[in-house]
Amino acid sequence: MSDAASAHARSLAANLLAQSIGAEMATPVAPEVTAFVEQLIKPARPLGVLFYGSGLRGGIQDDTLLDFYVILKRQSDWPRPWAARLGNALLPPNVEYHEIVVQGRLLRAKVALLSLVQFQRLTGVATCDTTVWARFSQPVRLVWSEGHKAEQALQRCVMRAVVTAAYWAAAFGPERAEPEAFWNALYARTYQTELRVEKAGRGAGIVATYPERFKRLLLSCWHIAGIAVAQNGQNLIPLITPHRREALEKAWVVRKRLGRPLNILRLMKAAFTFSGGARYAAWKIERHSGIKVPLTAFAEKHPLIAGPPLLWKLWRKGAFQKSS
């Protein structure tokens, strides 16, 4: 294929991807989700709020924890102490836990915070941190945006995340297979790289929930990434030389070695910056053990001080020996 033909193919693929991701992000969500976000952002000035995860895939149950990413223009656009803003600037994202009553129902959410510049960087193929692009290669909804310009910027980031994911999927998948096999191979790698508590097959479950979506996106993403591909019936064959595949494997080793240390550092940072963390821990313990955790105002404000004696009492009650 000539350079002009390749450029034309990439342009067509980019348009198809933009249409697909744009329609996906604009798909309406449950009214409770919209109402939750409207209350969440009242004191803030974000560029947009993205919704993803199990609450999107499986609907809202009594024990559902909603997952949001709030994208900011500046770190100061979200109300929090200066230390939390600094932590978010140095090691994104920060995570907060929020409980909001919507239409008489208590909803819970985990809210991650990124600046737009961070979001742009962490969805690109050059980043050594797989956390953000792996999440946003999955279905996502734009629940709220500041305006059309912000909406377009966030859509470009999500498109970049999907292309990055497909790029790595070409390296990790079989030599020839149907599209789902490439995505499954990718998510198996990303789940191994991160410090995740989910079962190993969780990524395959995500692909199985949206098989047509993942099938539709793969070819367009490969064209955009400059990966030549052949087809044999339903099977796709990414034309990657053994030398190139070996180079990509070596590049992934760097990401794998950094993945868990980065997530451990984030957990350590969360001890100081996780707003609502005490309430989140109390809810998780009660959810899994059935034992209600008494939270005083002091314990919520100073979890590092109040936590150890409280955890000792809960351990004696058997909170960490029962399972749901």
Contact (Cβ atoms closer than 8 angstroms) between residue 116 and residue 73: yes
> Which percentage of the chain shows pLDDT scores above 70?
80
The answer to whether residue 121 scores a pLDDT higher than 70 is: yes
Give me the sign of the Cα torsion angle 154, 157, 161, 162: positive
At residue 97, the 3 state secondary structure works out as strand
Q: Model-level pTM?
A: 0.85
Distance CA 113, CA 227 (A): 33
Tell me the CA end-to-end span of the chain in Å, nearest whole number.
Answer: 57
For residue range 132-162, what is the model confidence (pLDDT) as tens digits?
Answer: 999 999 999 999 999 999 999 999 999 999 9
Whole-number mean pLDDT of the chain?
86
CB half-sphere exposure, 307, CA atoms < 13 A: 15
Query: What are the tokens at 258?
Result: 């950094």
Instruction: Please write the tens of the pLDDT for every residue from 179-230.
Output: 999 999 999 999 888 755 555 566 778 899 999 999 999 999 999 999 999 9
Per-residue tokens: 156:
């470009």
Domain with CATH 3.30.460.10 in the chain: 3-260
What CATH number belongs to 3-260? 3.30.460.10
Residue type, 170: A
d(CA 115, CA 124): 15
Digit-coded pLDDT (tens) for 32-79: 999 999 999 999 999 999 999 989 998 898 888 999 999 999 999 999
- CA 117/CA 95 separation, integer angstroms: 17
Write the DSSP string, 141-157.
EEEEESSHHHHHHHHHH
- The greatest distance separating any two alpha carbons of the chain, rounded to the nearest whole angstrom, comes to 71
